[in-house]
Chain A
Amino acid sequence: MIVAATVHFPYITGWPERAAPADAAATRAGFERLGRAFRDAGVETIVAFTSEHIVNLQPRLAPPFLVGTGELHEAFPEPHFNLAPTARPGDPELASHLVRALYRDGFDVAHSSELQLDHGTTLPLAQLGIEPQVAVLPVIINSIFPPLPTLDRCRALGAAVARALVRTAPARRVGILATGGLSHTVGAPGVERNDPDFDQAFVDALVAGDLDRACGHGDAELDAAGNGTHEIRNWIAAASASGGRRPIEVTRIPYAPGWNSGVYQLLWDAA
């Protein structure tokens, strides 16, 4: 099963000109490579471990894991990021099977038939060039409203999702996409910088297949690296779903000036 992980920060589409041309070109090339890998694998459904930015989750209701079971996932309008509000087809049958399988595996995930997808999901899908007929099965991991699920629990979720997909849909060509930033800050002081040391250590752990090390961060440490850093949960889930394979490092830009962020993309190929 093909597995990939990528950043999704909206500078990529909203303000591409702010980045150095070489950084922008490397990012585009990274998306193209990942998109080509999904197309070559003939992926029919993308299970997206994703974050969102107060579109579905809020303090009133913030489950740790939320599976989208709808037939269609509308896009939350974000014209200021130059994102077309492209709705994506869901995969309700597979989603329903997945939820039931996760229940049997000890994960009482929430589910929703009316999720909206924001740039956390729509941006990478567009940049990857995912065709409109490819179904999307979102698995939103709460990374914004504490208490958040532990990194180890996200690791276990990724493995459980992979097991469930193999059992319930062996004939369906499913790919897994994690989308989320590494260290970054949104709405708080420090928005202009990331923590390159943290990012490189985290990615090094994933590249080495060392999920114990990747999960060895407490929430306070993640907060210190920036409030958006909690999105690494999605990367951990994807790495775990890969079954311990080592990924190809597609893009590594420790800090892209103008984008205030590092750019990382990983690919666990279908082999």
Chain B
Amino acid sequence: MTAIVLTQFLIDVTRGHRRQAFAADREAVIAESRLDEHLRTAIRDQDIATLWRAGAHPMALLYFARLSGWAADDYYRCIGAAST
């Protein structure tokens, strides 16, 4: 269930109905989420490796990384390392 909640959160803030709110006040959107503290911290830190290991949908996580300013090569290196 956590992975689905995480994936839905990533979608909401990257291309869904919470996108603008997340851009304006990231902390408020995180506070209203159903994420546990571990994942809230990972979102704040843009900790892609932790989010990957938590089971985020790859496409949703890619969009979140892109929104966070990650280059595609860096993203793929990160999840590659997190998968081993």
Contact = CB atoms under 8 A, between A and B. Distances in A.
Contacts of A227: 58
Contacts of A144: 57, 59
Interface string B10-23: 01000110000000
Interface string A175-215: 00000000001111101000000000000000000000000
A60 B8 CA distance: 7
A189 B59 contact: no
B15 A54 contact: yes
A79 interface: no
Contacts of A55: 15
Interface of A: 53-55, 58-60, 144-145, 185-189, 191, 227
5 contacts: A60-B8, A186-B58, A186-B62, A187-B60, A188-B79
Contacts of A53: 59
A12 to B, nearest CB: 17
Contacts of B11: 54, 58-59
Nearest to B10: A54
Contact of A54 (B4, B59, B80, B83): B59
Contacts of B63: 54
Given A59-B8, A189-B83, 16 more contacts: A54-B11, A54-B59, A54-B60, A55-B15, A58-B8, A59-B4, A59-B11, A145-B57, A185-B58, A186-B58, A186-B62, A187-B60, A187-B61, A187-B62, A189-B76, A189-B79
A191 B61 CA distance: 14
A188 B76 CA distance: 7
B59 A187 contact: yes
Contacts of B83: 189
